[in-house]
Amino acid sequence: MKKLLTILLAAALCLSLAACGDSAPDKQPAIDAYNELVENYNKFVDITNEDLSDWSEEDIDYMNSIADVISQYGKQLESDTELTQEQLDEMVEACNEFNGIIEEYLESEG
C-alpha cells in the first residue's frame, strides 16, 4: 500500500511539474514581424527622402507615427517586461498591417 501511495504521489508531482513548464508567450513571431517592418520602413524612407514634394503633411505625419510605433515595439521587445500573448499578437498584427502598406508602396515604385 505504501509503495502504491508513493508511486501515485510521485506521478502527481511529475504531472504538476510538467504543467508548470515554460508557458511564457513566444516573442519570436513578434520579433520577426518587427524586423521585417524595420527593414521595409528603412527602404521606404530611403526612397521617399529623395523627393518629398509629392507628400502631404498628413502623409508625412502618418509615416512618422509608424516610426513612433516601430520605436515603441522595439523597446518593448528588447525589455525584460513580460508581454502577454495578446499584446504580442496585436504587435504582430500591427506590424503586418504597416508592412502591407509599405510593401504596396514599394511595389508601385519598383
Does residue 14 lie within any of the structural domains?
A: no
Q: Residue 86: is it exposed, middle or buried by C-beta count within 10 angstroms (0-12/13-18/19+)?
A: exposed
What is the per-residue pLDDT across 27-58, written as a single tens digit (0 to 9) for each?
999 999 999 999 999 988 888 888 888 888 99
Does residue 18 lie within any of the structural domains?
A: no
Does residue 69 lie within any of the structural domains?
A: yes
Q: How many domains does the chain have?
A: 1
Q: Compute the Cα dihedral for 42, 44, 50, 54 and give only its sign.
A: negative
Compute the distance between CA of residue 92 and CA of residue 32 in angstroms, rounded to an integer. Answer: 9
What is the per-residue pLDDT across 62-98, written as a single tens digit (0 to 9) for each?
888 889 989 999 999 999 889 999 999 999 999 999 9
pLDDT at 71: 94
Domain that holds residue 32: 25-109
Q: Is the overall model pTM greater than 0.85, yes or no? A: no
Does residue 91 lie within any of the structural domains?
A: yes
